[in-house]
Structures are given as C-alpha cells and as structure tokens.
Amino acid sequence: MFVSWMYSWINDILTYLGLAQKKGKLVFLGLDNAGKTSLLYRLRDDKMSAHVPTHLPTSEELSLGGVRFLTYDLGGHEQVRRVWREYTPAVDGIVFIIDVACHARMEEARVELQALMTDENVAHVPIAVVGNKIDKAGALSEEQLKWSMGLQHQCTGKDTQPQDCPSRPVEVFMCSVLQRQGYGAPLKWIASFL
Ligand SMILES: Nc1nc2c(ncn2[C@@H]2O[C@H](COP(=O)(O)OP(=O)(O)O)[C@@H](O)[C@H]2O)c(=O)[nH]1
Ligand SMILES: [Mg+2]
C-alpha cells in the first residue's frame, strides 16, 4: 500500500518534470544561499527521506526514479570550483542557480558560471541558468540576469528541440522556489536533452 502510493507519487512528479522513463545525473550548482537545497526539498516535497547526506558538507543528493540529483556549493577558490567534478563525473545536465535579489554577489556568480561554461569536461552538457527568489524586492528581471551573466547572445532557446540545437544548450529561467513558481520549466527543458 505504502510502496504503491510512493511509487505513484514519484511517477507523478517525474512525469510533471518530463523525467519519467529518463535516466541521468543532474547537478544543481551555484553559490551558497542561492536556493539549491530548497529546490531539492521541493522536488522531494517533504514527503520522503531519500535525501541523503553525501561525502561533502556542501553537497546533497536525491534519487527519484532513474534520475539522480546532486547539489554542490560553488564559490571561493579554484579547488572548490573543481571539487564537484571529481565526485560527480559524467553529468547529463547542470542547473546553475542564482539568487537574483543578491546584487552584491552577482559578479561572483558570473565568474563561477563563466568558469563552468568554459570547462572542457562538461563542454556538451546542457546548462539551465535559473534566477531564483523573484519574489524578493529588487530581484533582477530575466533580461537583467542575462546581462549580468554575460549571456545576452548565448541562449539557445526555451523550445529548441535537441536535434535542432547546434551548440551546447544554454537557457535562462526565472523562479521562486519559495513560492513554488517556475522551477518546473528548467527541469523540463533539461529533461528534453536526456
Ligand atoms: N525569498 C526567497 N527565499 C528563498 C527562495 N529560495 C530559497 N530561499 C531562501 O534562501 C536561503 C538559502 O537557501 P538554500 O536552499 O539553503 O540555498 P543553498 O545554499 O543554495 O542550498 C534559505 O533561507 C531559503 O529559505 C525563494 O525563492 N525566495
Ligand atoms: Mg545547500
């Protein structure tokens, strides 16, 4: 009874995110305080405890069906920048989360994102850049976030089919994890490339 309820719930959320029948490893990256853990909890929807501690204090993991989600805090020095790759080779998708209400750390986020985008080890991996906390006063708009991140000319489109995407897929999305708003779209977008 419990098992079948659990199974159908997991199936529902994966179907909603376009991830049912998909297999893959997705990483949520971003500076600390961006909202990665909150997003992971939203996916879990506080209903199950598959949310396990990992090898690092700054990392978390959740498995739903055939999909593994891992979070890593970035920021600081080069060593921190590389650490997630050592533990998590062969990722299939990257969700880069930014606190769009935190103007003071926008440049730090941009540096991390640029390092990620020029990292040869993940050169073909789709990146969803997600501006979180749009509910907060002073939050950047999608256009402003693109400018701040240097992505004005890099986005490949929200509706581009995988076969029509000539370069590495990159797209910007806006959300409020707190208000349960907008975080489905970037995950559905990533799912289309799995
Ligand atoms: N206002 C607002 N706060 C958020 C949102 N998402 C996360 N937070 C808050 O931001 C803080 C950091 O979130 P957390 O998930 O721990 O960030 P992490 O360090 O990236 O894992 C917490 O206090 C969250 O409650 C959001 O959409 N809006
Ligand atoms: Mg966290």
Domain holding 37, by residue range, is 2-191
What pLDDT score was predicted for residue 173?
98
Share of the chain above pLDDT 90, in %: 60
Picking from 35-49, 70-84, 148-162, which range would have the lowest pLDDT averaged per residue? Answer: 35-49
pLDDT at 59: 86
Least distant ligand from the CA of 43: 1
pLDDT in tens, 90-129: 999 999 999 999 999 999 999 999 999 999 999 999 999 9
Tally of domains within the chain: 1
Tell whether ligand 1 has an atom less than 6 A from the beta carbon of residue 144. no
How many angstroms separate the CA atoms of 7 and 155, rounded? 36
**Ligand found nearest the CA of 59:** 2
Q: What is the pLDDT of residue 47?
A: 47
Cα 143 to ligand 2 centroid, rounded to whole Å? 26
Rounded distance from Cα 167 to ligand 2 centre (Å): 30
Which of 8, 5, 4 has its CA nearest to residue 16? Answer: 8
In the annotated binding site, the residues are 30-37, 54, 76, 132-135, 177-178
Q: Check residue 9 and give its pLDDT.
A: 74
Tokens of 83: 């650490």
Looking up residue 91, the CATH number of its domain turns out to be: 3.40.50.300
Q: Please write down the HEC assignment for all residues of 116-166.
A: HHCCHHHCCCCEEEEEECCCCCCCCCHHHHHHHHCCCCCCCCCCCCHHHCC
**Mean pLDDT, the chain, as a whole number?**
88
* Structure confidence by residue, pLDDT tens digits, 122-156: 999 999 999 999 999 999 999 999 999 999 999 99
Ligand 1 in contact with 32 (CB < 6 A)?
A: yes
Q: Which ligand is nearest to the CA of 29?
A: 1
Is the predicted pLDDT of residue 49 greater than 50, yes or no? no
Going by the annotation, the residues of the binding site for Mg(2+) are 32, 37, 54
CA of 163 to the centre of ligand 2 (A): 34
